[in-house]
Amino acid sequence: MVQPTEPEFEQALLELTTSLGPFLHAHPEYKKALEIVQIPERIVQFRVTWEDDKGVCHVQRGYRVQYNSALGPYKGGLRLHPSVNLSILKFLGFEQTFKNALTGLSMGGGKGGSDFDPKGKSDGEIRRFCQAFMTELSRHIGKDTDVPAGDIGTGGREVAFMFGQYKKLRNEWVGVLTGKGITWGGSYIRPEATGYGLIYYVEHMIAKLCPEHTLASPSTLVAISGSGNVAQYTALKVLELRGTVLSLSDSKGSLIVRSPGAGAGITKELVESIQSLKLSGGALSSLALTQATGVEYVPGARPWTLLPTVHIALPCATQNEVSGTEAEALIKAGVRIVAEGSNMGCTVQAIEVFEAARKKGGKTSVWYAPGKASNCGGVAVSGLEMAQNSQRLTWTTEEIDAKLNGITTNCFNICYDAGSKFSGESLAGGELPSLLSGANVAGFIKVADAMKAQGDWW
C-alpha cells in the first residue's frame, strides 16, 4: 500500500502503528480500521500556471490530500515550499486527521499545497500564483466539504488572495478558508494560536514532571527552533510568562544565548524585529546584534547542540529537525521536556532517545509530546473561526483564549489518560505515561469508531 518513495509518510505510519501495538493486541478488531484509515479518501493533483513580472509563464504542481472526513469536513493547511511533494502532504494529512480528533471539534483531516516558492517573489507574482492555484482548487473545496488554511509559505497575504479568488469564482462569501483577516471573517488569536497552545500544553507537562521549571521563572531555560509564526508566538508567550528564551533559528543558522543572565537573552523586541524581517523574506543572519544582549548568530547549525543548559526544548521549524544525536545532546544539557510545535519535528531515533529517558524515571527523566497533541492549538482556533463564520459572529480575544486553553487542557488529559491505559507499560516505577502512545491511540480510536459507525469498516 505504501510506496517506497514516500519516506515522510512511511515514518508517520510507522510511528502510529508502533504506538498502537499494545492496543491492537488487546483489541484486534481494530486492525482492519488501521488498514483502511491509512489510505486517503481522495487525492487531487493538478498543474498551476502563472505569470511572473517579466511576462514569463511558469508551471507548478498543486495538490490537495483529502485524508479523512469521518469527524467533519477535511481540515488542514496549504503549504507553499519547493520541498512540497505527495509524501510530505500525505504525512501531514495523516497526522492532521488524528490531531483534529484530539481537539474535540468536528473536523476531518487534509493537507495541500504546491512546490511554488514565495520567497523572492513580488506581491504581484504571489497574487497571480494564488489566483491560479485557487482557480483549480475551488472545484474541490467548500465550507462543508474541505476548509484549507495557511501553513509554511502561506500567510495572511496568500490566504487573502486565495479567498478573494474563490469568492469571485463561486459568487459567495463563505468560510472556505481559515486564517482570514480579522476585519473580514478571521478570528482573534489565530496567528498566535499554535504557539500559545503549545505553551498551554507544556504548562501541564511541567506541573506533573518538573514544577521547579515553571515558566514564571527567568531561571527556566527554553530552546526554540524556527523563526516563523509558530516559533515567534511560542517565544513571545514564554517571555510574557517570564521564562528565558535561548534560541531561534532558520534554514541558514541559529540565534543562541550561551550565557543567559541579567540583560542577556532573546527579548520581545528582538522577536518583533524578526517578525518584520520574516515578512520581507529576510534571514536571521542579516540581523544587527549587539554584544550586550548576549545573542550570537551561528551559521549552518540548529540550536540543539549549541546550548550548555536547556530545561525545555520546543522544535517549531519543520519535520525531522531533531536527530538522535541532537536528542542525546539535549539530554546532556539537562532537558526535561520536549514538545513539538512543528509536525513530526523529531526523527524516529530522537523519539527513541527521549522515550528511553522517560522510562528511566527519576529527576533526570525526559517527557516528550508529539506535535499532533502539543501543537493542536492552531487548528483548534481554525475550528473556532469556522464556528464564528457559521454564526456570523466574532468572539472576543478573551473568549477565544479561554476556549483555546480549555481545548489544550482537554487534549493533554486525553493523551495522559490514554497513555496510562494503552501504552502497554506497567508504570510501576512512578514514571509518567507516554504522551506519544496516548495521543496516537486516543486519536485513532475516535476516528476509527466514527468510521465504523458510518460503514467504512466492519
Helix H or strand E segment including 382: helix 377-391
The hierarchical CATH code for the domain 192-373 is: 3.40.50.720
Residue 194 marked as a ligand binder: yes
Helix, strand, coil % over all residues of the chain, rounded to 5 = 50, 15, 35
Where are the domains positioned within the chain? 39-170, 192-373
- pLDDT confidence of residue 122: 95
Residue 421 marked as a ligand binder: no
Residue 96 marked as a ligand binder: yes
Residue 342 marked as a ligand binder: no
Which portions of the chain are predicted below pLDDT 70? 1-4, 262-264, 291-292
Residue 3 marked as a ligand binder: no
Residue 320 marked as a ligand binder: no
Residue 75 marked as a ligand binder: yes
Alpha carbon dihedral 196, 384, 189, 100, in 10-degree steps, equals 30
Per-position DSSP letters for 338-369, written without gaps between them: EE-SSTT-B-HHHHHHHHHHHHH-STT--EEE
- pLDDT confidence of residue 356: 96
Using DSSP, state whether 111 is helix, strand or coil: strand
- pLDDT confidence of residue 263: 63
The class that CATH gives domain 39-170 is: alpha beta
Q: Kindly list the catalytic residues.
A: 111
Query: Which cell is 266 given?
Result: 532573546
Q: Which residues, 6 or more positions from 120, have their beta carbon under 8 angstroms from its beta carbon?
A: 281
CA distances 161 to 42, 124, 130, 192, 204, Å, are: 25, 10, 6, 21, 38
